[in-house]
């Protein structure tokens, strides 16, 4: 990740490389807080419209629904219910037992408790406030 000012939109745009994640969320601060509290993300910038976070050297973006009013993507987002059905947002080398404990303590929904899986990972599924499924895992 290159040095840049996380509050400068052009610098942020130029810092993005490879594969990126940008989630539309109903409440940016709430989702940023979830990611910090449960998985240890670092918040680089955050306001009511947008948040830029970092985890293990990778940048993640959150945009509020209203910030995308001129974009066609919100037409695919349900007015109520969970978002991101069928998508797993996987965080490798993140302790699932610890993340599950933190999520439970904060009242977040655990979709699947931590377990050793046949593909050689210990993992769990945690739903964020908008229903996106996050899967922290470690090798076993």
Specify the higher pLDDT residue, 86 or 104: 104
- What is the spatial distance between Cα 119 and Cα 130, in angstroms, rounded to a whole number? 28
In this structure, of 8-17, 71-80, 83-92, the range with the lowest mean pLDDT score is 71-80
Q: What is the mean pLDDT of residues 116-126?
A: 97
Residue with more model confidence, 68 or 112: 112
- Averaged pLDDT for residues 110-114: 98
d(CA 53, CA 58): 8
pLDDT, tens only, 14-38: 888 888 899 999 999 999 999 999 9
Give 26-33's long-range contacts (Cβ < 8 A, gap of 24+): 26/64, 26/65, 26/129, 26/130, 27/64, 27/129, 28/62, 28/63, 28/64, 30/129, 31/62, 31/128, 31/129, 31/130, 32/62
What pLDDT digit, counting tens, does each position of 88-107 carry? 999 999 999 999 999 999 99
Task: Determine the Cα–Cα distance for residues 51 and 10; give it in Å rounded to an integer.
Answer: 15
Q: Which pTM value belongs to this model?
A: 0.86
Q: Tokens representing 93?
A: 């080398």
User: Architecture of domain 9-139 in CATH?
Assistant: Roll (3.10)
Look at residue 79 and tell me whether its pLDDT is greater than 80: no
């Amino acid at each position: 990740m290159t040095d840049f000012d996380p509050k400068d939109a052009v610098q942020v745009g130029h810092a993005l490389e490879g594969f990126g994640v940008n989630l539309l969320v109903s409440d940016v601060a709430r989702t940023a807080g979830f990611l910090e509290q449960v998985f240890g993300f670092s918040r680089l910038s955050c306001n009511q419209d947008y948040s830029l976070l970092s985890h293990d050297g990778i940048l993640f973006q959150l945009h509020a629904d209203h910030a995308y009013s001129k974009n066609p993507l919100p037409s695919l987002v349900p007015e109520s219910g969970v978002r991101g059905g069928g998508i797993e947002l996987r965080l490798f080398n993140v302790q699932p037992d610890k993340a599950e404990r933190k999520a439970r303590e904060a009242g977040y929904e655990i979709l699947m408790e931590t377990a050793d899986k046949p593909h050689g990972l210990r993992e769990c599924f945690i739903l964020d406030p908008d229903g996106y499924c996050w899967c922290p895992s470690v090798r076993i």
